[in-house]
Amino acid sequence: MIKINKNLLNVQQVDNFEEVSKRVNEYKINNPNNKLLNLGVGDVSKPIIKEVIDEMNKAINELGNIDTFKGYGYFYGHSFLKKKIIDEYKCFTEEEIYISDGAKTDTTNILELFDKDSLACLFNPSYPVYRDALDIMGIKYEYIDANEFNDFRPLPNKKYDIVYICSPSNPLGIAYDKDYLTKWVKYALKNNCIILYDNVYDSFIRSSNVPKTIYEIEGSKKIAIEFRSYSKKASFTGVRCSYYIIPNELIIKDVNKYWKKRVMTKFNGSDYIAQRGALATYSDKSIIKINKNIDDYLTNARYIKEELEKLNYKVYGGFDSPYLWIKNKNNMSSWNFFDLFLNELNIIVIPGIVFGTNGDNYFRVSALANKSVIYEAIERIKSYEKEN
Amino acid sequence: MIKINKNLLNVQQVDNFEEVSKRVNEYKINNPNNKLLNLGVGDVSKPIIKEVIDEMNKAINELGNIDTFKGYGYFYGHSFLKKKIIDEYKCFTEEEIYISDGAKTDTTNILELFDKDSLACLFNPSYPVYRDALDIMGIKYEYIDANEFNDFRPLPNKKYDIVYICSPSNPLGIAYDKDYLTKWVKYALKNNCIILYDNVYDSFIRSSNVPKTIYEIEGSKKIAIEFRSYSKKASFTGVRCSYYIIPNELIIKDVNKYWKKRVMTKFNGSDYIAQRGALATYSDKSIIKINKNIDDYLTNARYIKEELEKLNYKVYGGFDSPYLWIKNKNNMSSWNFFDLFLNELNIIVIPGIVFGTNGDNYFRVSALANKSVIYEAIERIKSYEKEN
């Protein structure tokens, strides 16, 4: 008798997010005329810049012409894009770079690189996809607390084989500085631990003491795999293009030789059109426009922070990141606070509990929405606070 | 100490294909002026039809405008495309359909659905990706012989939990008829075995006794997961769009509830532009043009078959499929025959051994190349045979 992979039965995320959707949908059915403002979802609202649109149109038209048609790309990505990535890092070779279709895919699939008996370390709270992917793979994990007492900067006190670090952090909205990351790199070098460095919000980094990449930290090429994406940077959440670096120096011998086998077996290369679009993000003109877009999101974040602090909310994050991690008032639990915002203010936030037990007294707000949505939401919160 | 997933060390495919590339590259370096004709790679040569190109350009331009911008799609695919798929099958609901980025990804990732202690059945020969994916997952498998003695139509004589069936078959070039597939469905129903039905060459089916889908066979919804793709049908090998069906009726209880958890955890939805392109393949005008393209490939296949049979080659396949499975002359082994064709005729084929030990006396030819390449290759083979 065929049996299901029992690990799938452990996955919690769908249930959590389904609970958010369920409550939102119930509210909509009962209150069809009330306008909901969504500060929950971490999706971008800015359209893709013209330079990138033009390049993708060009790429598509090539595919319609017999003389310029291109079929399968390369399993590991087109050279034209890898060259730009190498220019940006100012190191690495093409064989250390993998172009892919999204950081969620990449940060979860990478677990196939490791022995099932590895022990992983997760921040509590953290992006729940890490936990669910570990569950599906049957790899054990433990949490370390990221909370106000340690300034959301936990350090391990035992030996782990793998650790997920997300910086700028989803959901904490914090970008970790060089000092803190150096501690992790030293720990990893000492303990032969691999850091899976989820750096998909790198384009939001403005502070000079925050490394743009983990590879700025000495020794990190031996123990870190870094993940990046065009999703937030270039509004590619619908287009899908990402990349990750596995340094040849990594302490796993011949790591790229073996990982290439995995990729070749289970992936047929990333979309050509998306890769051409990604290529166009590197022109001088594109960089200026993209930075302007990100600055607008950061301005949103700062505005939310300032206004909510005036209302005596305790707000973390929002610098170098599109996310704010905000403490519920009156010690309310996540779901109660979520319901309050939904029912009384018609604002959708993400209940912190979705990211781990330490999130229960918090909610996550995204500054990636349109400015008008954010301003309207803030006005509603102000009025509500005045009345209550 | 971090350890590598030992299963990765077993993957053979890269080595086999690297061997093909290595020999081809060596030849090129030593003979830079000789023109090589590639009948090996299973990539398409026809450009994407205008209707699809236009739709993709439209979709891209939407993404460049704030009023029509779209971010994340749905994890499981856009409704507009699922509706077309449902129309074609004339059954299934949207929740039974998953839009994805390629059949290689889908036919390999699906193994995460099953218990690691399952026993899988593979045809010898078959698409090597199945074997390699099973190896990576640590799922055991056994081969059943597909050879001239059983007309390449093997049947199992023991209990398996999973079987991969590819029809129209890569590499055999055979499309299995209703009678044969019915035997498999009956076997699967009796033994609670799941058929992973790789149907990515469905658009090449012209014979009336060959089902366009496994779901034409009674009872198959209980035991079959079907995979399809736009790669060969619509020249999407560079664009990436595929789909698969997991029927709610499947004997694994609540299968879609659990599989959705997997997809949501490890995938962020398929490219919007590709899905819009796929949508455009369903118009009446597109269907006519696409069928014409496929007919051209089938004409290539027939031409290769006829010409090689005149030269006393034993040729299988080439009906309802772009592939031909051809017996080496003089009982030559795969690699020797590959070298002969490469060195003497400057033609690249795929050595049958790549697909399994039963392939050692065969080579695979693809009719997906341009007609001119195929005609030139046939002329070379004719001249060679005349002289030898």
How much is the pLDDT for A21?
Answer: 87
Contact A265 B194 (CB under 8 A): no
Contact A5 B117 (CB under 8 A): no
CB contacts of A253 in chain B (<8 Å) are 4
pLDDT tens sequence across B289-337: 999 999 999 999 999 999 999 999 999 999 999 999 999 999 999 999 9
In chain B, which residue's Cα lies nearest the Cα of A59? Answer: B57
Contact B341, B18 (CB under 8 A): no
Å between B309 CA and nearest CA of chain A: 30
Q: Residue B14 pLDDT > 80, yes or no?
A: no
CB contacts of A56 in chain B (<8 Å) are 60, 273
In chain A, which residue's Cα lies nearest the Cα of B108? Answer: A266
Q: When comparing pLDDT for B9 and A195, which is higher?
A: A195
Q: Which of A173-177, B19-23, B72-76 has the highest mean pLDDT?
A: A173-177
Q: Which of B2-11, B17-26, B131-140 has the highest mean pLDDT?
A: B131-140
Query: Which of B4, B48, B271 is opposite residue A240, by nearest beta carbon?
Result: B271
Query: Which of A4, A13, A69 is opposite residue B114, by nearest beta carbon?
Result: A4
How much is the pLDDT for A14?
Answer: 64
Fold of the B72-283 domain: Aspartate Aminotransferase; domain 2 (3.40.640)
Query: Which of A57, A71, A192 is opposite residue B238, by nearest beta carbon?
Result: A71
Strand partners, A327: A362
Q: Provide the residue-wise pLDDT of chain A in tens; the chain has 388 residues.
A: 789 999 998 887 666 877 888 999 999 999 999 999 999 888 999 999 999 999 999 999 999 999 999 999 889 999 999 999 999 999 999 999 999 999 999 999 999 999 999 999 999 999 999 999 999 999 999 999 999 999 999 999 999 999 999 999 999 999 999 999 999 999 999 999 999 999 999 999 999 999 999 999 999 999 999 999 999 999 999 999 999 999 999 999 999 999 999 999 999 999 999 999 999 999 999 999 999 999 999 999 999 999 999 999 999 999 999 999 999 999 999 999 999 999 999 999 999 999 999 999 999 999 999 999 999 999 999 999 999 8
Average confidence score pLDDT of chain B: 96
pLDDT tens sequence across B333-363: 999 999 999 999 999 999 999 999 999 999 9
Query: CA-CA distance, B132 to B208, in Å (whole number)?
Result: 34
CB contacts of A140 in chain B (<8 Å) are none
* Structural domain boundaries in chain B: 6-48+285-387, 72-283
Superfamily of domain B6-48+285-387 in CATH is: Aspartate Aminotransferase, domain 1 (3.90.1150.10)
How much is the pLDDT for A16?
Answer: 80
Query: Which of A53, A101, A105 is opposite residue B64, by nearest beta carbon?
Result: A53
Q: Residue B13 pLDDT > 80, yes or no?
A: no
CB contacts of B136 in chain A (<8 Å) are 112, 262, 265-266
Tokens of A105: 């895919």
Helix (H), strand (E), coil (C) string for chain A: CCCECHHHHHCCHHHHHHHHHHHHHHHHHHCCCCCCEECCCCCCCCCCCHHHHHHHHHHHHHHCCCCCCCCCCCCCCCHHHHHHHHHHHCCCCHHHEEEECCHHHHHHHHHHHECCCCEEEEEECCCHHHHHHHHHHCCEEEEEECCHHHCCCCCCCCCCCEEEEECCCCCCCCCCCHHHHHHHHHHHHHHCCEEEEECCCHHHCCCCCCCCCHHHCCCHHHCEEEEEECCCCCCCCCCCCEEEECCCCCCCCCHHHHHHHHHHHHCCCCCHHHHHHHHHCCCHHHHHHHHHHHHHHHHHHHHHHHHHHHCCCCEEECCCCCEEEEECHHHCCHHHHHHHHHHHHCEECEEHHHHCHHHCCEEEEECCCCHHHHHHHHHHHHHHHHHC
* Average pLDDT for B259-278: 95
Query: Which of B48, B115, B237 is opposite residue A4, by nearest beta carbon?
Result: B115
Query: CA-CA distance, A248 to A235, in Å (whole number)?
Result: 31
A70-282 is classed CATH 3.90.420.10 = no
Contact B45 A69 (CB under 8 A): yes
In chain B, which residue's Cα lies nearest the Cα of A57? Answer: B57
Count of A-B CB contacts under 8 Å = 260
ipTM for the complex?
A: 0.95
Query: Which of A11, A43, A68 is opposite residue B71, by nearest beta carbon?
Result: A43
Å between A160 CA and nearest CA of chain B: 9
In chain A, which residue's Cα lies nearest the Cα of B137? Answer: A112
CB contacts of A45 in chain B (<8 Å) are 66, 69, 71
Contact B265 A72 (CB under 8 A): no
